[in-house]
Structure 1
């Protein structure tokens, strides 16, 4: 049965139960006791019939749930002449099922909003004409027009001078992002400024937003281990209930006491509170740009005690950046960068693109180079601003400009890439490129410690000296360098002796380790599709520190689930004891249990209001 059909069925059963209860009370007040009893029983029968069907279907699947107690309590109340108690239990059960459905629907609201924002069409520019096409018709290389208020349909790059995008649905960042020409665009972001043009990079089915939608659908279909544990415990709880009810009957000789025990034992808050709290936690984590693929991974994440981190693209940005400019005597830093960026406009090499981006970030207006010649793996030469110029390795620049050996820069860190720059017949200086730690990496590691992660390990394929230099001062517990993909898997498995392991990575080579970890976390904004598929958690923003609020939410949601279930079960057991001793009539027990069930569900919904200590999205 579909979700909507199930909701309608639960609503109908609740309506019949309420009508039977109220009509019976009206007849009783009018002095028609016999009619009242018949009306109460009439309201119970449809609910009991529906419950029996659910139990039979569960038994065919090899499951025995706590709904058996509800069926026994209604049946016993009818058999032993307590139709009012049966009617209250029927309203309680039908109302609890409907409230659970409503609560889970509310908890899933934030993730459902992602699905509702999926665009259906896009505007394609072809031959100077704008045409509206379906998403599946978009091909890589198509020029698209994204108008104000529209959602970016596919991944691509900005082909206008400026774009102003609201990425809150993807990342949780409250402030719109300002992007320049050539910037990467993620599908699912909304245009918050003037219309702009973009070049599609991949089909809609392979774009970021389509992947997110698939992950959301998988998350909504999940069932938590704690919920399955409730099913496994059901036989034990059922046995305790029957023993207590039988003992009360045997000791007193009054079957009504047994009915009172059965009534107050149903339904167990465990099967109501746990799913609601965990699904609410999923919704709350999505608000912070952390997509957890189900309630099971959320619970596993809450128990995580060890974090294994990849370096490139995780602790570091994964793209080369200029960390220093070392000019020759009498040369300004900007002059070195301007010549290097001017020539590199004609190269697609990642280092060249990083140099051009650095110049643009400084507001430099670059002239176009002439006569470019690129030697793969060595550098680029040509004419820039009227003179011969070259950028690349030191030997290449010296050879291209007819210079002697160029002096090496002092004190370059291990793993740094040195780029020589020459122009106007002379050596201009060096650009020192590296993949440095992301801003806030040290605060992130410290936050993990506060959140209960006892061990943080770096696992990287880089050389040990490079990894040690980059991560110096982070306070890591261990560093494993020079690892192949299978060695990363072994690292994850070996760390399990310290507790449940979370693994964070972004590349294809990280996918096996992500799958091997108790919780795999993928950098979803720029990471490989393989890592996102293998992971249990996907960070929708290119910031590893977004894991911290996700972890804090997971821990808090699990605590709320346990608190709700524990308090509810405790109150039910106390009530069962009082009923067994004759202190509660069946009707009173039914009302008390309904109050308990409503209370634990409302308490579980507190997970929707969790504010992690690390703050709101975008807060630093």
Structure 2
């Protein structure tokens, strides 16, 4: 299969500009030092001043652009320090500040590029063509022509271009690009495989479940692009700190000048006040946290979502598709006297091959799991939402709910139910006018449901509410088993919104869901989390956080990452600004000349940025 584009990194104009400015500042500093060593002090001063000007002019353009948007950025202090250095004849100090600022911008871009590596790797994996089985054999076709039901050949090493079900006996898949799992998984016939994963075993056939444009992978790519274009509120919060920090800087520098009459004291304060810890540390830590979560299969749509996830204290959880798998499975079958359970299931599943109802698919899978031979039904008549009747191997078979089944019984035939719990959904099977059996269906809990509830509480979630559209009788066993604090059942989409709004009085609310009916509540919550691997597109587009892998335990991992990223960002800011303020006081008292102050501030900046990058690690 061809690839849509080259996956090699492309340097943006901003990246190139930062490299050029860094090169000018560094080259000017080195050239000036060489001239100074050979006795050309005047020439050295000129070169240092000349190398400062491009950085200063670029910075002034950024400041004007920010002021037009209404942002009073902390870059003003850096511009003041460079301007004052040139005005007072301290060109070497100005060159060092210029190098510090250009270097900080370069480090920020480097950190951002490294942090996005796991996310942008997805964009280069989109295939353009695929091998499709046709009447004339295999043919290579554009993926845009693939429709539901097409059978595709997936060869070893190829990336699955669409979501589909395995049509061969088995398939070995590397899911690490989506889930972060190091070990491959082996899928059996009829198992679902997601686009964007890689075939690492023998070739196999895949039946497309949906077109490529609607596949899980295409949706993930769109979400990645949206996440990359977002700006963290934490960065805007850092900008708001500019006012008081700028006021403190001007107070100290102006006070030192007025008290001593020495303008160099004021310059020294400005030089060490350049607040790169605040400008760079917060976004670097936030982007690093988003990247770390993406590597685990959790897409966080920007820094605001990461912060909200870390602040959440109340969790409102949907049941179906979130705590459960979201699809029916046969849990028990009752056979009337004279009938065998397997034969009842075989006849019912054979008839259900003609139905698209979700319960029909569950019966067929149960029969296939028992290796039952399915026959071809005839004379089929389906009543939408109620049931269907037809002929299988000479028997008139009807499958459906109780009301539908009563209409298929012979006169005088009894209809009754075995002792299934009230929470079970049941299907009646009538054979030749007699109630032959009743099947109980259930939506089983995820294997990690109990663990994730415990981990959510450990991560700071103080209250967990189960909000579901199911009947209370169906949801009560889940509440008891998982020790959930509150159950709200029989909810409409608007009811779920009301539950979220009511829960907000006790703290920030996280809503977790997967269906279209959950989208309004996801939007109403402080942070919405969608089960994106199997959930509806509407929920994924509305949510702030999307689980790209069908594992809810990754939500607890993401909350831990959010806490750690916020902690690292705050640590970098507090330590960095604290050291800068101490250096400002020392400069105001005359203990730190401009050049030494600039070098000290450079060391502080590098330290806080490297500390912020710790959010990338586990």
Length-normalised TM-score, structure 1 = 0.92
Quote how far apart the aligned CAs of 1:248 are: 1.3
The secondary structure found in structure 1 opposite 2:205 is strand
CA distance in 2, matches of 1:121, 1:544: 33
CA distance in 1, matches of 2:254, 2:43: 31
Quote how far apart the aligned CAs of 1:74 are: 1.1
Quote how far apart the aligned CAs of 1:235 are: 1.9
**Greater Cα shift, 247-256 or 414-423:** 414-423
Aligned to 2:292: 284
Is the 1:320–1:351 contact (alpha carbons within 8 Å) kept by the matching residues of 2? yes
Matched, 1:405 2:414: yes
The secondary structure found in structure 2 opposite 1:198 is strand
Is the 1:514–1:520 contact (alpha carbons within 8 Å) kept by the matching residues of 2? yes
1:87-486 → structure 2 map (5 Å cutoff): 87-327=95-335, 334=342, 337-362=345-370, 364-371=371-378, 373-376=380-383, 377-384=386-393, 391-393=399-401, 396=405, 399=408, 404-405=413-414, 407-410=416-419, 412-421=420-429, 429-486=437-494
Is the 2:346–2:374 contact (alpha carbons within 8 Å) kept by the matching residues of 1? no
**Greater Cα shift, 125-134 or 563-572:** 125-134
Quote how far apart the aligned CAs of 1:30 are: 1.8
Aligned to 1:23: 31
Deviations 1:9-48, CA, capped at 9 Å, x for gaps: 1101111111111111112222222222122112111111
Length-normalised TM-score, structure 2 = 0.92
Deviations 1:198-255, CA, capped at 9 Å, x for gaps: 3334332222211111111111111111100111221221111011011111222221
Quote how far apart the aligned CAs of 1:451 are: 0.3
Aligned to 2:60: 52
Deviations 1:146-167, CA, capped at 9 Å, x for gaps: 2221112123333334333222
CA distance in 1, matches of 2:179, 2:30: 49
CA distance in 2, matches of 1:38, 1:310: 68
Is the 1:103–1:605 contact (alpha carbons within 8 Å) kept by the matching residues of 2? yes
Aligned to 2:6: none
Deviations 1:121-175, CA, capped at 9 Å, x for gaps: 2223333243333333334444332222111212333333433322222233333
The secondary structure found in structure 2 opposite 1:315 is coil
Quote how far apart the aligned CAs of 1:471 are: 2.2
Is the 2:154–2:206 contact (alpha carbons within 8 Å) kept by the matching residues of 1? yes
CA distance in 1, matches of 2:257, 2:11: 41
**Greater Cα shift, 333-342 or 427-436:** 333-342
Aligned to 2:45: 37
Aligned to 1:559: 567
Is the 1:341–1:366 contact (alpha carbons within 8 Å) kept by the matching residues of 2? no
CA distance in 2, matches of 1:554, 1:571: 26
Quote how far apart the aligned CAs of 1:378 are: 3.3
**Greater Cα shift, 320-329 or 280-289:** 320-329
CA distance in 2, matches of 1:298, 1:509: 24
The secondary structure found in structure 2 opposite 1:311 is coil
CA distance in 2, matches of 1:408, 1:461: 25
CA distance in 1, matches of 2:488, 2:425: 22
Count of residues in correspondence between the two structures? 606
Matched, 1:598 2:606: yes
Matched, 1:85 2:93: yes
Q: Do the aligned partners of residues 432 and 255 (structure 1) sit closer, same or farther apart at CA in structure 2, a change above 3 Å counting?
A: same
RMSD: 2.5
Deviations 1:241-299, CA, capped at 9 Å, x for gaps: 01101111122222111111111111331110111111111111111111111111111
The secondary structure found in structure 2 opposite 1:525 is coil
Is the 2:104–2:276 contact (alpha carbons within 8 Å) kept by the matching residues of 1? no
